[in-house]
Chains A and B, each alone.
Chain A
């Protein structure tokens, strides 16, 4: 899961580093305060979440960002706001039922108040 993969600070740093361009495991280990085996483990998690991908160049694996995972994140954020707005709309509808006087003026209402 994308969010779980990014729940770790080091993995976020790896993604941030790869944003600047593809890197080998060795390059990443040199830039970040984490051991090479640890970097490899983090890359495996990121790869499973489709946040990074790699290509083999001889004996080196060069990692780069994979936008698939980012699209998943965007969809997640989109659903986040959908839930929020649904909740808001429910509140407005409840308001209408509780407090009919809050309704904007409608012809029908006018008729009722005249009665």
Chain B
């Protein structure tokens, strides 16, 4: 929910999957291109040919397009298999407008892993300085996210 003007709560999503944390992590990262809904959630949509999740800190998440071009969606900032992976997220927007994605993998019942995704950093400013409060902050990245989502959803820019 939106709270005070200028700040936006992170988006939090949770899913339980029938796999060990090791396998859940491996499928999320190394197997990224096997499950990501590329046709609808990509810069190129029907022209997108694949996406890979670079392993390790500094690895990029890169979409490939039919014309040979690529689009970088983000860069890995934390790599702690099999428990956590975090990256910047700026699909469709300049790097300076990156938000932040963190995914954790926690053992649940035997044979199950709880996967929690947090998309935050809406308040990150274009200059990279994180400003946490006040009316001066917050909307820039919201606008940036519009651009990203618009790009990702293939809407006319």
Contact = CB atoms under 8 A, between A and B. Distances in A.
B95 interface: no
A73 B2 CA distance: 11
Interface residues of B, number: 44
Interface string A94-107: 01100000111010
B35 A90 contact: yes
Nearest to A96: B18
Nearest to B35: A91
B36 A87 contact: yes
Contacts of A76: 149
A6 B40 CA distance: 19
21 contacts: A3-B146, A4-B150, A7-B150, A12-B146, A15-B143, A16-B143, A20-B136, A67-B2, A71-B2, A73-B145, A73-B149, A74-B2, A77-B149, A89-B17, A91-B35, A92-B19, A92-B23, A92-B24, A102-B20, A103-B18, A104-B23
A31 interface: no
Contacts of B49: none
